[in-house]
Structure 1
Amino acid sequence: MARQNYIFTSESVSEGHPDKVCDRISDAILDAFLAQEPEARVACETFATTDRVVIGGEVGLSDKAKLDEYLGRVEAIARNCIRDIGYEQEKFHHATCEITNLLHAQSAHIAQGVDGSADKDEGAGDQGIMFGYAVEDTPELMPAPIHYAHAILKRLAEARKSGEEPTLRPDAKSQISLRYEDGKPVEVTSIVLSTQHEREDQTSDDIRAIVEPYIREVLPQGWITEATEWWVNPTGIFVIGGPDGDAGLTGRKIIVDTYGGAAPHGGGAFSGKDPTKVDRSAAYAARYLAKNVVAAGIAKRCSIQLSYAIGVSKPLSIYVDTYNTGEVPEHEIEAAIPKVMDLSPTGIRKHLSLNRPIFERTAAYGHFGRAPDEDGGFSWERRDLADAIRAEI
């Protein structure tokens, strides 16, 4: 029997965190290539440090003559991302930081295992395991600690960018500890918030006065109590931030990107990878399936694992865990899943309409628990498969 009474903690980081700056640049470059060619192959990594950004990896286009033209746009894309995030520091400024572009053509040996042909389905872009998860903690069917850790930082970013809070700066981290009673979140036991700010004469108390109203606005009524511990900028001054304060790298915040540690995570990161890479697309499919299992009322909590081999089109295994909350045995859900969705890389991309420029928006505040967009963004958050899953059981 799963524990019903406990405290669980998750953290998030803002769009200005050094690692998230890199995720944003990598996904913006991915979107640019997909906008030009929906079947583009992209594996883009970004590194950022003081006054410098380095971009590398592999890209593939059917029209190889245009590759140099598209690669020439990479520097402008990176500067636009840095400007939108809000970096205009002396040692990390969108207009003056040095940008090195080392992207090159995709390996033909990798391409031959991935690309389909008349007599062979498209294979997975790599081996690996991917997990999806859903739980009834929130209306979005996300674990509450990570959901609200994201929400706090997103709200503070809105206040910063609107000019409502002009002394806040882009780099920030949040952490929420939630007490669960009878399996449901009921109280915030501690709040940790560290945010970059403008002036060295601003104290931790000054920053708390700025951020506390937004935190209270975001969290459900009654969750903050007199016993809640507040730790706002606990180390004191946080003026030097972003890549100037700490180096960043694409793909280092995989737990922030998913479920905040409330569920397993596979071996791969998401950002900078086109949807033939099952690290990304199959993780989205697994979330989509787990969410629809819970939305169908089949379980209150559900984790789904998928596994793949490079060049092989079908998943090698499907594993479901409902944590003793399911209405039916897990093996029945496992049998139903391939009947309602084609889990080949091609099938996933078609079902979720992933061959479009929808990925830059995923780079901060989580890949899951977001509302589906009209243009197809966050399509894996739809609940349109619930009836089909239930009908197969």
Structure 2
Amino acid sequence: MRSTYLFTSESVSEGHPDKVADQISDAIVDLFLSKDPEARVACETLTTTQLVVLAGEIRGEGIMDTAGNWAPGVPEEIERTVRETVKRIGYEQDGFHWESFRFENNLHPQSAHIAQGVDASGNKDEGAGDQGIMFGYAANDTPDLMPATLDYSHKILQRMAADRHAGTAPFLEPDAKSQVTLRYEGSKAIAATAIVVSTQHAMGYDKGEQEAELKAYVKSVVADVIPAELLGDETEYHINPTGSFEIGGPDGDAGLTGRKIIVDTYGGAAPHGGGAFSGKDPTKVDRSAAYITRYLAKNIVAAGLAQRCTIQLAYAIGVSKPLSLYVDTHGTGTVGDDKIEEAIGRIEKLGGLTPRAIRTHLQLNKPIYARTAAYGHFGRQAEGDFFPWERTDLVDDLKAALAA
């Protein structure tokens, strides 16, 4: 590891057009899982000026039959869910308003050829919903074992959104981005060298006293989020560096599901397999295997077996057993990486990391996904409880398996 270096991560707010799309897609996943825990969902969303479009493949009891006929009332529920999601985010602008945007629903039945490979039948176990590679990561940078640059980037925007919703920062509009650069010595952050925050704002907050008020507010949020010892003369602030940011959200830039996968995961501190999470039910290993690899990596670090850990899993569509498991503790491990791999394979409750075993162990067939779709899928709590993949309840099992 280099002795001194700079590292940067970015985040985007719940009002960013791509995140609007992610939240809509995951709200649809939750709607369908609430009707059928075994529902198959692949929902993509497009957002642009006064328009939301859904597309994708679905299947589920009480939702749609294989001929493409909707169950009574479901299309209306879908539209209501979409509009309520946009309303919750806070869009009531001429260019994008929850009540008046045009809505298109192009969801259709899941391909029978995909279904035959994924579904369990006879002696065949449920297979992976697609081929692919998935990565998980954990590091002891923060109490939640996440990269500090991403953790701070998320929390700046979460705080701003909370103030906007509470009415204590009425000049803020929903669309925003943040970016944090830290200077490291070894694995320890010693200084914040650059903070970038671009936020959509009310009219007039791009000049004079109102601009100064907005910038002072952003700096106060940064000071609340980032430890004081990291901020100082070396810290450079870039707040709305382009000037005006009145036109934003889907009216300013089109949004699509799955375009912020690095924001969703580890801020560039770890590899990414390439698959997005939002809009997919948990039979899709793009989602469920990424969650189990985070769970494994976090428990390895929490167990004191490493300071940093990256895990990779690989799958083939229709095949239940993973093709490979790879553990890398980046030279920080207290035991060999191969020993950790072997220990994971000996933990019975993980069920060999098949798609069905992952869903069962992490209890993924529940409508929990809309809460994941902004401010990252990892390293945070939802309504007071960790997401299942954020638990550290595997620590004792890992230690026992290593001792066996």
Give the letter aligned to residue 236 of structure 1: G
- Is 1:349 the counterpart of 2:359? The answer is yes
- Is 1:338 the counterpart of 2:345? The answer is yes
- Map of 1:189-268 to 2, 5 A cutoff? 189-203=193-207, 204-268=211-275
Q: Report the TM-score when normalising by structure 1.
A: 0.97
- Is 1:313 the counterpart of 2:312? The answer is no
Give the letter aligned to residue 320 of structure 2: S
Q: Secondary structure at the match of 2:162?
A: helix
Structure 2 match to 1:123? 127
Q: Report the TM-score when normalising by structure 2.
A: 0.94
Q: Secondary structure at the match of 1:171?
A: strand
Percent identity over paired residues: 60
Instruction: Map Cα deviations across residues 240-270 of structure 1 (whole Å, 9 max, x no partner).
Output: 0000000000000000000000000002000
Instruction: Map Cα deviations across residues 15-52 of structure 1 (whole Å, 9 max, x no partner).
Output: 00000000000000000000111000000000001111
Q: Distance in 2 between matches of 1:71 and 1:331?
A: 50
Give the letter aligned to residue 14 of structure 1: S
Instruction: Map Cα deviations across residues 40-92 of structure 1 (whole Å, 9 max, x no partner).
Output: 00000000011111101011014545844323321111100110000000010
- Is 1:324 the counterpart of 2:331? The answer is yes
For residue 186 of structure 2, the aligned residue among 182, 197, 201 is: 182
Structure 2 match to 1:368? 378
Q: Distance in 2 between matches of 1:183 and 1:6?
A: 10
Structure 2 match to 1:379? 388
- Map of 1:1-393 to 2, 5 A cutoff? 2-63=1-62, 64=64, 67-69=70-72, 70-203=74-207, 204-340=211-347, 341-342=350-351, 343-371=353-381, 378-393=387-402
Contact kept in structure 2, 1:372 and 1:382, CA below 8 Å: no
Q: Which runs of at least 4 in structure 1 moved beyond 6 Å after TM superposition?
A: none
Q: Distance in 1 between matches of 2:307 and 2:396?
A: 16
Q: Distance in 1 between matches of 2:286 and 2:70?
A: 25
Give the letter aligned to residue 388 of structure 1: D
Q: Distance in 1 between matches of 2:184 and 2:48?
A: 39
Instruction: Map Cα deviations across residues 309-329 of structure 1 (whole Å, 9 max, x no partner).
Output: 000001100001100000111
* CA shift for structure 1 position 373: 5.4
Q: Distance in 1 between matches of 2:61 and 2:100?
A: 34
Q: Distance in 2 between matches of 1:126 and 1:379?
A: 23
Instruction: Map Cα deviations across residues 343-387 of structure 1 (whole Å, 9 max, x no partner).
Output: 100000000000000000000000000136567x61000000011
More moved, 64-73 vs 19-28: 64-73
Q: Distance in 2 between matches of 1:171 and 1:305?
A: 33
State how many pairs are aligned.
391
Contact kept in structure 2, 1:23 and 1:363, CA below 8 Å: yes
Q: Distance in 1 between matches of 2:382 and 2:85?
A: 22
Q: Distance in 2 between matches of 1:234 and 1:280?
A: 35
Contact kept in structure 1, 2:35 and 2:61, CA below 8 Å: no
Contact kept in structure 1, 2:191 and 2:234, CA below 8 Å: no
